[in-house]
Amino acid sequence: MAYTFQSLPQLVDKREGLRENGEYSKRTKTITHRVWHHSLTKKNLSGSDAASFAHYHVETLGWPGIGYTFVIEPKNVVQTPKGPRARIVWCHDIDRRTYHVGNSNQFSLGICVAGDYRYDKLDDATLASIAELHAALVKDGIGKYDRSHNEMPGYSWKECCVYDYRKAISWQGSVTPSKPAALPDYYTIQEGDTFWSIAHKDGAGGVTVEDLIAANPGVDPRNLKVGQVIKLGKAKNAYTPKPNTPKKPQSAYKYPLPSGILKRGSRGTGVKQLQNALNAVNFKCGNVDGIYGPKTEDAVRRFQKVYLPYEVDGIYGPNTRKKLQAVLKSKGY
Ligand SMILES: [Zn+2]
């Protein structure tokens, strides 16, 4: 089967010919994410191309091959019937789990635009290639969501991709500019979904994990079932207060939550409040004794695994508090 992207005149197939040392394994998951990177090498440097990145990834990092499936090379301009285009290098079969976003590699396709966009600017030939590759991938059904590297779990600190990929993929010169679909009212659970991942699929829609918790009281986030339907668009603002809404004081709640940081060794009323709240939402921590011991720490950890999967440290702080408040709210407290 030929892919639509193969008909792009600026595409070169280098699945054979780039530096390799072995073979990436096959993906065990369907691609859901197209992840956009830049190379952090200035775009006009001689080393700003797929061949150099492959060399670096294999020889220095010890990887089986280049970490991206596609590399767009602004310094190599190809004349096409539609005008000048940055060359697109196809580096791996689509089903190869290459290394570019850690835990998310299984379901993410890596696309790198050569350049350092802290300093470089996207030129028209590059924008056109980004938009046309994107449109082709959409047509080929490869991935559903576009994300920059630093929008993927665990990478918020990365200066990647820096350029505005959303603007680039819908560049006006594109033959089929694509817009992200509107947020659906309901969402059907897919394999591997968590409330966290669902909330973060929706970059622009503004639905938070707290909203999902509050709007779906009958759903146990610890046990999401494939095919289960939850409120998504309809969850908006279920928890997140609209701007300028006055906050209720904690004393108004049945289970007031302490502020600040509580952790192993903490003692006092705040710990008691936390223990009461954890027990109320079925993250059992044993006797309410006001001592933050191993059972309380374990309950906080179990809670974080469900609601804050990237911040599991057994320490109660502002983020855990916010999630706990939302869960209490969803239970009617
Ligand atoms: Zn990156």
Give the DSSP per-residue string, 145-193. EEEEGGGSTT-TT-----S-HHHHHT-TT-SS---PPPPPSEEE--TT-
Q: How confident is the model at residue 313 (pLDDT cuts 50, 70, 90)?
A: very high
Distance 161 CA to ligand 1 centre (A): 6
Q: How much is the pLDDT for 222?
A: 83
Q: At what angle do helices 269-280 and 294-307 cross, to 10 degrees?
A: 50
The verdict on 127 and 43 lying in the same domain is yes
On whether residue 198 sits in a domain, the answer given is: yes
The verdict on 283 and 207 lying in the same domain is no
Are residues 271 and 292 in contact, defined by beta-carbon separation less than 8 angstroms?
yes
Task: State how far the Cα of 208 lies from the Cα of 8, in Å rounded to an integer.
Answer: 38
Distance 54 CA to ligand 1 centre (A): 14
The verdict on 141 and 197 lying in the same domain is no
As a 3-state breakdown, the chain gives helix, strand, coil percent values, each rounded to 5, of 30, 15, 55
Overall number of domains in the chain: 3
Distance 269 CA to ligand 1 centre (A): 45
176 has pLDDT over 60: no
Distance 160 CA to ligand 1 centre (A): 5
List the structure tokens of 102: 């850690």
Task: State how far the Cα of 91 lies from the Cα of 128, in Å rounded to an integer.
Answer: 20
On whether residue 9 sits in a domain, the answer given is: yes
Q: How much is the pLDDT for 38?
A: 94
Sheet of strand 83-90, all strands in order from the earlier edge strand to the far edge: 11-13, 83-90, 70-80, 108-113, 33-38, 145-148
Distance 298 CA to ligand 1 centre (A): 34
Q: How confident is the model at residue 242 (pLDDT cuts 50, 70, 90)?
A: low
The verdict on 33 and 84 lying in the same domain is yes
Encode pLDDT of 193-231 as tens digits: 778 777 766 444 678 888 899 999 889 888 888 889 999
The verdict on 122 and 229 lying in the same domain is no
Encode pLDDT of 141-168 as tens digits: 999 999 999 888 888 888 888 899 998 9
**Domain residue limits at 212:** 186-235
Q: How confident is the model at residue 174 (pLDDT cuts 50, 70, 90)?
A: very low
Distance 165 CA to ligand 1 centre (A): 12
Q: How much is the pLDDT for 177?
A: 40
On whether residue 105 sits in a domain, the answer given is: yes
On whether residue 13 sits in a domain, the answer given is: yes
Q: How much is the pLDDT for 247?
A: 74
On whether residue 58 sits in a domain, the answer given is: yes
Q: How much is the pLDDT for 158?
A: 81
- Identify the CATH number of the domain in which residue 164 sits: 3.40.80.10
The verdict on 322 and 296 lying in the same domain is yes
On whether residue 40 sits in a domain, the answer given is: yes
Neighbours of ion ligand 1 (CB under 5 A): 37, 149, 160
More confident position, 194 or 119 = 119
Give the mean pLDDT of the chain: 89
On whether residue 175 sits in a domain, the answer given is: no
Encode pLDDT of 71-85 as tens digits: 999 999 999 998 999
Distance 181 CA to ligand 1 centre (A): 25
Q: How much is the pLDDT for 178?
A: 45
- Identify the CATH number of the domain in which residue 219 sits: 3.10.350.10
For the ranges 138-142, 308-312, 315-319, the lowest mean pLDDT is seen at 308-312
The verdict on 314 and 216 lying in the same domain is no
The verdict on 117 and 63 lying in the same domain is yes
List the structure tokens of 319: 């983020």
Task: State how far the Cα of 91 lies from the Cα of 78, in Å rounded to an integer.
Answer: 18
List the structure tokens of 51: 């061949």
Distance 116 CA to ligand 1 centre (A): 11
The ipTM, to two decimals, is 0.93
User: Which percentage of the chain shows pLDDT scores above 90?
Assistant: 61
Distance 68 CA to ligand 1 centre (A): 9
On whether residue 177 sits in a domain, the answer given is: no
Q: How far is CA 113 from CA 61, 149, 155, 189, 279, in A?
A: 20, 12, 18, 32, 50
Distance 149 CA to ligand 1 centre (A): 5
Distance 207 CA to ligand 1 centre (A): 25
List the structure tokens of 110: 């890596």
Distance 98 CA to ligand 1 centre (A): 13
Distance 36 CA to ligand 1 centre (A): 7
Q: How much is the pLDDT for 181?
A: 60
Distance 182 CA to ligand 1 centre (A): 27
More confident position, 192 or 209 = 209
Task: State how far the Cα of 77 lies from the Cα of 126, in Å rounded to an integer.
Answer: 9
Encode pLDDT of 7-44 as tens digits: 999 999 999 999 999 999 999 999 999 999 999 889 99
Distance 178 CA to ligand 1 centre (A): 23
Q: Which of 152-156, 249-253, 272-276 shows the highest mean pLDDT?
A: 272-276
Please state whether beta strands 229-231 and 186-188 pair in parallel, antiparallel, or not at all (unpaired).
antiparallel
Are residues 140 and 5 in contact, defined by beta-carbon separation less than 8 angstroms?
yes
Distance 275 CA to ligand 1 centre (A): 41
The verdict on 230 and 286 lying in the same domain is no
Distance 152 CA to ligand 1 centre (A): 10
Distance 137 CA to ligand 1 centre (A): 19
The verdict on 50 and 158 lying in the same domain is yes
The verdict on 95 and 13 lying in the same domain is yes
E strand map for the chain: 11-13, 33-38, 70-80, 83-90, 108-113, 145-148, 186-188, 229-231
Distance 13 CA to ligand 1 centre (A): 22
The verdict on 40 and 130 lying in the same domain is yes
List, in sequence order, every residue forming a beta bridge with 109; answer none if it has no partner: 34
